Structure 1
Amino acid sequence: MCSGLVAFLCLISVSLTAKVKWVPNTNFNLKLNFKDGRLPCPRQTVVFPESLNGIVSIETKAVVGGFVLPQDGELVFGDGDLQFGSSENSNCTETGNVYFLENSVSSWAQPDVWSSPKFNEATPDAERVPCFDDTVEFPTGSVFTISLPDEQQVVRDIKINGVSYDTRTFIDYVLHQRDQAQQFILNQYQETGIFITNKQCKSRSGCPCQVNVMRIDCSAKICSVPTCIDPIQPVGHCCKICGGVISFDVDQSFDLMTFKELVEAVIEGYGNEDLVYHIGKIENKIQLVVVNKGEYTGTSAEVVNDVNNRMQRHWVQGVKEAAISGSPLYKYGLGGKIFVSMFFAVVLVMGGVYAYYYKLPEIRLPIDIAGRPGMLSRYQRRTDSVVSLTRRDSVITTRSGISTAFRNPMYDSKRGRVVVEATADD
């Protein structure tokens, strides 16, 4: 089992052929390389780290207020044009410093270093890697340093600056690389750890993304705060999420396509286009994760619960586990506000009743009865007549046979009272 500070890439995906691109790039004109995730404004000063381990490339026009250069490092100007000072046509008016972040060395198995159309919000971090039937692409003009995997990974093709490589030519490229802007670091065994071949999946129960399991360092992942009560953490996710998950053991007779059709039918039945799902496989275990694309509404949890109830028993060959997150925080907060409001409203009403009957002093008012001035000796907020809601001898019998009675709590008031009794004429 995988555990400890280093999170695992334990779940391997049911793979579909796709293009997977390498993301890290020290190009100056990329938003991700700045601390606030935005390119600098013409009036802002760009502050570089004290030391740059790699090369920072300026490929397109850049307009900044100024540079605070590193003590040690290298900036390369390609076809880009660097201009200092504000631009009259710029709509950006922010000032101050903006910080350039150098991601000098990244790992093949690091979170969020790959992008692909097949990835969505439900895809675990452990499965956001190239699979055995994927084409790996390192974009033209990108600047990076990558540590190659320790465990051998199988891919369909590797393209570097638009040129395809097989296993032999890729090894030769890494060993004799001349492009200083793009550096590949051999693994601890002094190998590339990459095997390039055209492999096909022929199992009806699906194939794992990679046979050899890698590890992902989740300490490099920035997790957002879940917007639900009791968030879940599916296998392979570095962060807790809102939604639902089902995992179960299968054998070779399991039909992955039939299960996928069930999931899609349930989602379509909810009529919600704001749902995405991911089906992954490790060894003989299938995992389904369903989440909302945007704000969590609870629908994804309902879908997982529905799928769990509709699954056929013979699909599961061992243990089946399902988990769903709770209500959205905004609904939970609304319920709490209503409860607090009602509580204080009840307290205020009861306090008002108590003060009305027992705490207010007697009020004496001058009156004129039959033209003679005088004083009303007693004026109270309530009448001195108290009506007993039930007689002392009346009882209410419950279904359990226990006798009980209800009496007006004001019946035994110390003040005078008039008892109104029922008569035969009533």
Structure 2
Amino acid sequence: MGALGRVLLWLQLCALTRAAYKLWVPNTSFNTASNWNQNRTPCAGDAVQFPADKMVSVLVRDSHAISDMLLPLNGEFVLASGAAFSSAGGDSDPACHPGARLLFRNPDRFSWLDPHLWSSGTQESGIFFVDAERVPCTYDDVLFPRDGSFRVALGPGPNPVHVRSVSAVGQTFTRDEDLAAFLASREGRLRFHGSGTLRVGSQACTDASGCVCGNAETLPWICASLLQPLGGRCPEATCQDPVRPQGQCCDLCGAIVSLTHDPTFDLERYRARLLDLFLKQPQYQGLQVAVSKVLRDAHTEIQVVLLETGPATGAAGQLGHALLQDAVAQGSVLGIVSATLRQSGKPTAANSALDQNRSGAGLAAGVAAVVLLALVGTVLLLLYRSGRLRWRRHGDAEPASAGLPLGFRNPIFDVMVFKQQQASVEFPDSTQKVDILDIDTNFGCFVNPLFAGEAEAEA
């Protein structure tokens, strides 16, 4: 059985035991363009140089004619079948425009904690993982290229890295003793370095509702590695009130559905339900979903993250509400006890346009108010000059009439004063009396039509 056949058989066994695995992506191959400072592989006639103080294992797959090469003080070249080096002499490839020495980039730049450098073999279209789960979790199997060269920096997280197993250089390590012996060998030191500690032997996840990843304490270092190319800062979210899921380094536009569940909940079945029943609908085509078990306030819950991959359209919030309705309707079947929803706000671009419209409307209203005040002032000035408008100072006002009681000015009558004297009205057909206020008739009165008949009878 070939190497590819063994890998496929191993992956099938992982699927049967519900084990997850992570694949290491970068390599230190001579034929990988990104390993060279000019982002190209060496051409005929090139002069190449490796860092003198770096340990490195380099796989060479093809034949190369070069003018000269400076080797590292400690390293190895692994030549594949048919690979070789030869001197180019005076010949060179004019298509490559050789000139400056071609430098092999620092092989120590690859960190175990960088989410960019891992791939999940179980990842499907429409599915993504939060940043903490993009690097190997406690229950993951880790695969390094069997026939390739690589170098990994361990650390600087505060705790040892725990995984289920590590497969490298044709061996699979499931015991700490065997892995420690390999890491201490020259073959292991060429491929693993740093201050961190790597341990194996964790059990595979056997819980159908999923297992917590276990990278919560390492998340700050994961985020530091992830954001290093961006200067350590998160990109600005394109929506108002963005959300940040547990295990994610930066805010995002979308929604988060949190599910509490009973023992019958099946994480893989629910993830498949999201893909088949919801994400295939046209209105949700631009969304991606991450489903995992997280620890919150000493209790576990299922976190469903709905990510808007393009400009925020509100589709994540719509799907979030649809999942809440689905949890109510099918919760007993799916093993869902309760569900809550958090979602981000409107796009910032739309908000900016709205603010600009409001600013424009406010400016127009201000100008209209100034024009109106100017017109009113002009009219008052013309009335004053024509003699139709007069005003007096406060000291020139006529004195108030002596003895005129202070009271409430009714717009219907000239003056009305209510005396706080009690009176009563007796209804003809009832012995009940209702106290009312006596109104002084010296200053007018108000006749209530309800009592008009009684007043005439008394008269």
Give TM class, smaller chain: 0.5 to 0.7
Match of 2:226? 221
Corresponding residue number in structure 1 for 2:279: 267
Tell me the equivalent position of 2:187.
178
Cα displacement string for residues 211-264 of structure 1 (whole angstroms, at most 9, x for unaligned residues): x86623122221333222222111111122221112243332434466446644
For the pair shown, which has the larger CA radius of gyration, 1 or 2? 2
**Do the aligned residues in 2 keep the contact of 1:40 with 1:46 (CA within 8 Å)?**
no
Structure 1 position 54 matched with structure 2 position 55? yes
Corresponding position of 1:336: 355
- Does the CA-based 8 Å contact 2:131-2:248 persist in structure 1? yes
Please name the residue that 1:102 is paired with: 106
C-alpha deviations, 1:243-297, integer Å up to 9, x for none? 1112243332434466446644343445332211111113522111111334443
Q: CA deviation at 1:68?
A: 13
Q: Which of 138, 154, 168 is matched with 1:147 structurally?
A: 154
Native 8 Å contact 2:314 2:346 kept in 1: yes
Question: For residue 400 of structure 2, what is the aligned residue in structure 1?
Answer: none
Contact 1:138–1:160 at 8 Å: present in 2 too? yes
Q: Is the 8 A contact 2:54 2:107 kept in 1?
A: no
**Cα gap change, 1:269 to 1:86, in 2 (>3 Å):** same
1:136 corresponds in structure 2 to 142
Instruction: For residue 339 of structure 1, report the CA deviation from its aligned partner.
Output: 3.9
Q: 1:71 to 1:246 in 2, by over 3 A?
A: same
Structure 1 residue 151 displacement after superposition: 4.5
Contact 1:251–1:317 under 8 Å retained in 2: yes
Q: How does 1:184-263 map to 2 (within 5 A)?
A: 192-195=198-201, 199=204, 201=206, 203-209=207-213, 215-216=218-219, 217=221, 218-222=223-227, 223-256=234-267, 259-260=270-271, 263=274
1:193 positional shift: 1.0
- Are the equivalent residues in 1 in contact too, given 2:54–2:72 (CA < 8 A)? no
- Alpha-carbon spacing, 1:77–1:245, altered in 2? closer, same or farther (3 Å): same
Aligned partner of residue 221 in structure 1, secondary structure: helix
Counterpart residue number, 2:396: none
2:393 counterpart of 1:414: no
Q: Residue type of the partner of 1:231?
A: P
Write the distance in 2 (CA, Å) between the matches of 1:99 and 1:329: 44
Contact 1:112–1:125 (Cα < 8 Å) also in 2: no
TM-score scaled to structure 2, two decimals?
A: 0.55
Q: Deviations over 1:379-420 (max 9, x none)?
A: xxxxxxxxxxxxxxxxxxxxxxxxxxxxx9997683899xxx
Q: CA 1:411–1:17 in structure 2 vs 1: closer, same or farther (change >3 Å)?
A: farther
Counterparts of 2:103 and 2:313, CA distance in 1: 36
Q: CA deviation at 1:208?
A: 3.6
Distance 1:235 1:141 in 2: 35
Q: 3-state SS of the aligned residue for 1:334? A: helix
Which residue is 2:319 aligned to?
303
Q: Secondary structure at the match of 1:271?
A: helix
Return the structure number with greater helix share.
2
Is 1:278 equivalent to 2:290 in the alignment?
Answer: yes
- Give the secondary structure class of the aligned counterpart of 1:414: helix
CA contact (8 A) 1:121 1:293 kept: no
One-letter amino acid of the structure 2 residue matched with residue 182 of structure 1: R
Query: Unaligned stretches of 5+ in structure 1?
Result: 1-14, 360-407, 418-426
Moved more, 283-292 or 257-266: 257-266
**Structure possessing the higher relative contact order (Cα contacts under 8 Å, 6 or more residues apart):** 1
- Quote the Cα distance in structure 2 between the aligned partners of 1:62 and 1:347: 77
Comparing 218-227 with 109-118, greater Cα deviation is found at 109-118
Aligned AA for 1:215? T
Q: Deviations over 1:88-111 (max 9, x none)?
A: 446xx9x99999753516554444
* Alpha carbons 2:56, 2:191 under 8 Å: kept: no
Indicate the RMSD between aligned Cα atoms, in angstroms: 5.3
State the partner residue of 1:160.
Answer: 168
Judge conservation of contact 2:37–2:104 (CA < 8 Å) in 1: yes
Q: Aligned-pair distance for 1:182?
A: 1.6
Q: Could you report, residue by residue, the CA deviation over 1:59-112 in whole angstroms, capped at 9, with x for unpaired residues?
A: 46899xx9998998879696487989996446xx9x999997535165544443
Equivalent residue runs for 1:396-411 within 5 Å: none
Secondary structure at 1:224 match in 2 = coil
Q: Give the percent of matched residue pairs that are identical in Structure 1 and Structure 2.
A: 21
For 1:347 and 1:338, the matched residues in 2 are separated by 12
Q: Tell me the TM-score normalised to structure 1 length.
A: 0.58
- Please give the residue correspondences for 1:23-42 in structure 2 after superposition, counting only pairs within 5 Å: 23-27=25-29, 30=32, 39=40
Counterpart code for 1:247: S
**For residue 393 of structure 2, what is the aligned residue in structure 1?**
none
Q: Which residue of 1 aligns with 2:22?
A: 20
- The separation in 2 between residues aligned to 1:56 and 1:221, in whole angstroms, is 25
- SS of the equivalent of 1:53 reads coil
| Structure 2 spans left out of the alignment, 5+ residues | 1-16, 228-233, 387-459
| Distance in 2 between residues matched to 1:85 and 1:339, nearest whole Å | 70
The worse-fitting range, judged by mean Cα deviation, of 219-228 and 305-314 is: 305-314
How far residue 180 of structure 1 moved from its aligned partner, in angstroms, is: 5.4
Contact 1:122 1:290 in 2 (8 A): no
Asked if residue 326 in structure 1 is aligned to residue 332 in structure 2, the reply is no
Give the 3-state SS of the residue equivalent to 2:54 in structure 1: strand
